[in-house]
Chain A
Amino acid sequence: MATLTLVEADEQSQRLVDAQPASDRPVGRIDLPALYDAHWRYLVRFAVLLVDDATSAEDVVQDAFVALHRNQTNLRDPDAALGYLRTSVVNLSRSVIRRRVVARKHLKVAEPEGTAGADHDVLLRDEHRAVLAAVRALPRHQREVLTLRFWSGLSEKEIAQTLGIAPGSVKSAASRGLATLQRVLGEQR
């Protein structure tokens, strides 16, 4: 053991037996059920922010895990697995939105205004509702960047890796998105 010297004054030092030398971290195949339990909630929330409704978000996350399940022989590091899942969620969310646009074009009946998630918005505070509405009007990649930056808390480099774009593009998308939001929210005051 290292000589760790912070010990509470009043506490008798404990005799400790090193039960098992554990210098190696678990390696080998990634533990998919454990990943699923650990990240399901986070990923569905992330997907909701991209596609706006819970059903599509859950589908997207299930499909992302199915894709990982097929590719897991190529992935050993659980951290890399989360990055892979995040990227899958972005890509699958784009397909959902694309399908939604196509479906809308062919729809004969009139559709109420607003996105699928709008019914949840009644539970939100006014300022949050306003900013979310403005975000939904942004170009797709600006919305993705802002979500990854301000909700997931990723760095520019990590966002670039997730979206498969250059860090410079992340920076410009973020600043353009923020500028648009400033303008739109400013006009509403």
Chain B
Amino acid sequence: MNDDELGRLLGDAFDQQARTVVGDHATPPPPRFATGHGELHPTNSWRRRWWAPVVAAAAVVAAVGIGAELSGGGRQPVAGVAPSPTHSPLSAYQAPAGAAAVRTTVTLRPTSAVGVGLPVVVALSRPITDGRAWQAATRVTVDGRPLPAAWYFERTGPAAAMTAHLRPQSYWPAHASIRVEVAAAGLSAGRGLAFADDVQVAFRTAAARVAVVDGDTHRLTLAEDGRRIGIFPVSLGADRTPTTQGVKVVMAKADHVCLTGPNYHVCNVRYTQRLTAAGEYLVSSPWSVWAIGQMNISSGSTDLRPADAQQLYRLLAVGDVLDYRNCQGPMTTAGQGYGDWNVPWAAWRTGGLVPTS
């Protein structure tokens, strides 16, 4: 056995041991650092104190009091992110009779587990002017525990008058079951407008697969649940056609497609994974193998060696995250596919085109 083989055996053995003890569906217990119940101390220091047994006894008494709260919530909502208590009750948002109906359609109903970066997208049949009722009627749970998440209204392509994207502050928890319910039927969408439908979406997330793509080092580094599982050389956009910066999400996968631009038309391009609405892809690029890992010469896409492209096509799912750094292009915007994660959370929570709070 050479050292490479031994290294692989070690990696597999470590992974087996780690996964045997902490399964993919293991959920974190409530964190011990304080999130609303006062300052807690590290186990080791407080166990040593003389009053520890007294505190433990008191904690049992207190636990009876807060037990219901904890079992319902698990983790307390983060201060400043939780729905504000000043929100009006839903009844305040009832639309008057005769308001025009706004139909809503969930554009994506995933059948298998998705990546942790996939926002929930709802298409609206007509532009609205007020998103507060919609946001107030939204409940998001992760494995039964509530998670703060906010809607952002965007004007996108010709398919819908307006779309709303839902995301939490950072990526969805991995290996989790997520439910989104919006009890919006009959609520106001602005003056003279009323939502016609309730929305329910349930999906599962896969492992947290996050790739960092660095335009300086020409490397794509892929991690799964925090563990680095591969490094792939790439060639990004040339100076005149730079690749955009920031977080992108795999939108769709397709083998054998035609790609067209000003100076080219290539067909039978293999292992493509779409990243932006404008047309950035991960592609198998036999024509630029000489530049891959060396320099940026593509027309904006991420060129990969054919074998690497095939492997990434197998590894990545729709919703997986690619974080582009040191690229010459501008920041990927929210309208570009699922560029939603590049909008700062504080700006996201204001709702985009219409107010949500």
Interface residues of A (CB under 8 A from B): 1-10, 12, 14-26, 31-34, 36-46, 48-49, 53-54, 57-59, 62-63, 65-69, 82, 95, 117, 120-121, 123-125, 127-129, 131-132, 135, 146-147, 149-154, 178, 181-182, 185
Contacts and interface: CB of A to CB of B under 8 A. Distances in A.
B1 interface: yes
Contact of A9 (B40, B258, B331): B258
Q: Binding site of B, secondary structure by majority: helix, strand, loop or mixed?
A: loop
Interface centre among A41, A69, A124 (most CB of B within 10 A): A41
B271 to A, nearest CB: 14
B247 to A, nearest CB: 9
A33 B35 contact: yes
A33 B13 contact: no
A31 B81 CA distance: 11
B347 interface: yes
B103 interface: no
B276 interface: yes
A20 B21 CA distance: 44
Interface in B17-53: 17-22, 24, 26, 28-29, 31-35, 40-44
Contact of B154 (A2, A9, A19, A67): A19
Contacts of A185: 1, 6
A151 B22 contact: no
A125 to B, nearest CB: 7
Contact of B43 (A33, A44, A62): A62
A62 B352 CA distance: 37
29 contacts: A1-B278, A4-B241, A5-B261, A5-B263, A5-B299, A6-B279, A6-B283, A6-B301, A8-B279, A9-B259, A9-B267, A17-B154, A17-B156, A19-B154, A19-B343, A23-B331, A32-B31, A34-B169, A49-B17, A53-B21, A66-B32, A66-B40, A121-B17, A128-B9, A132-B13, A153-B11, A178-B6, A178-B7, A182-B3
Contacts of A48: 17-18, 21-22
A8 B260 contact: yes
Interface residues of B, number: 94
B195 interface: no
Contacts of A128: 9, 12-13, 16-17
A147 B13 CA distance: 10
A15 B35 contact: no
A42 B224 CA distance: 9
Contacts of A57: 21-22
Nearest to B40: A66
B17 A124 contact: yes
B300 A120 contact: no
